Amino acid sequence: MSVITTTKANSIEARKAVDIVADNVASVRRFNRFYTRQIGLLRRTYLDTPYSLSEMRVLHELAHPTVDQPTASDIGRALDLDAGYLSRVLRNFEKRGLVKRTTSKSDARQSHLSLTAQGRKFFAPAEQRSQDDIAAMLSKLDNAEQTELVKAMATIERLLEKDAAVPAARRYTLRDPQPGDFGWIVAEHARVYSQEYNWDRSFEGLVAQIVADFVKNFDPEWERCWIADIDGAPVGCVMVVKDEQPDTARIRLLIVAPQARGLGLGQRLTDECIAFARAKGYKKMTLWTHDCLKAARRCYANRGFTLTSSDNKLSFGQKVVAEYWDLTL
């Protein structure tokens, strides 16, 4: 009798556990249906382009690569796409002049993938459309609700990726500046350039002036500042401002904090600048840098910027080579 009673009890408990799991499954599926409708994933094409969501995600991975010189295998792993399907997508993009392959110098059997100038020009409006759509969705919420939403999304990402061997530090976000961020930009530039290049306080004064001018003269129609954020703390930034030359945008104050290096963040910030400038109709981009900034120079060169002039001078307490780079959009 006691054995039967215990078996019934165990059966009831097991059934309750199954019911709880089933309810959770139903809740997740309901959320998936809601969110796919919310951001337009059910439409035949994505962001008013001729392509599907998965095809546009391939272009996004090439526009914002998480590894230098990605291969088809890198893209396939990042997006969990079938190799045959991905191969067809890439061939179509190559045929349309959006993607190019470059044979690897270290392994002739491998090809590196990148967007062509035409590909970047095509992708920029779609990127801006995606930004605008999300901004419109968030505009219905006040600041506290937006923070609550973003934290909830971060929680979902953290819980579902905990067994996926994805480094937590890769979960950075790009956002508009918040109170205190402009002070951080000045302080971080001063700290990094003092420690790594021994530049003196005159550089901090220059950065402070650039930031002050940006805040004072900010034109939201033509200018933008991005803050890269990890767990609520800024780890990088960049600005796009109107240049004195007509139809020209200038990149300013690109920096990635040491603890966030190796994530492709500098490339991502640069790509955001280029996409923004193209979407706004600028014809050219320009920037000022120094020859000691090796990683930044590689990033600019890989995106089609060309060194147009340089100048040996004494600045910030050091002998430096100032460089001027331009990109035709």
Instruction: Report pLDDT for 163.
Output: 59
CB-based contacts of 139, cutoff 8 Å, min separation 6: none
Do residues 128 and 221 share a domain?
no
Strand partners, 311: 322
CATH number at residue 311: 3.40.630.30
Answer whether 0.75 is exceeded by the pTM.
Answer: no
Helices (H), strands (E): how many in the chain? 10, 9
Write down which residue in 91, 115, 138 finishes a domain.
138
Does residue 241 lie in a domain region?
yes
Q: Are 267 and 65 in contact (CB under 8 A)?
A: yes
Q: Kindly state whether residues 75 and 117 are assigned to the same domain.
A: yes
Question: Could you list the mean pLDDT of each consecutive 10-residue stretch along the chain, which spans 329 residues?
Answer: 45 53 83 84 79 90 80 88 92 94 81 90 86 85 85 80 53 88 97 95 97 96 94 92 95 94 88 92 96 93 94 94 95
Burial class (CB in 10 A: 0-12, 13-18, 19+), 202: exposed
- Measured CA to CA, the distance from residue 55 to residue 57 in angstroms comes to 5
Tell me, yes or no, whether 12 lies in a domain.
Answer: no
Residue 305 belongs to domain spanning: 172-328
Minimal CA–CA distance to 121: which of 292, 271, 297? 271
Residue 212, domain member (yes or no): yes
Number of domains in the chain: 2
Whether residue 322 sits in one domain with residue 237 = yes
Q: Residue 23: its pLDDT value, please? A: 79
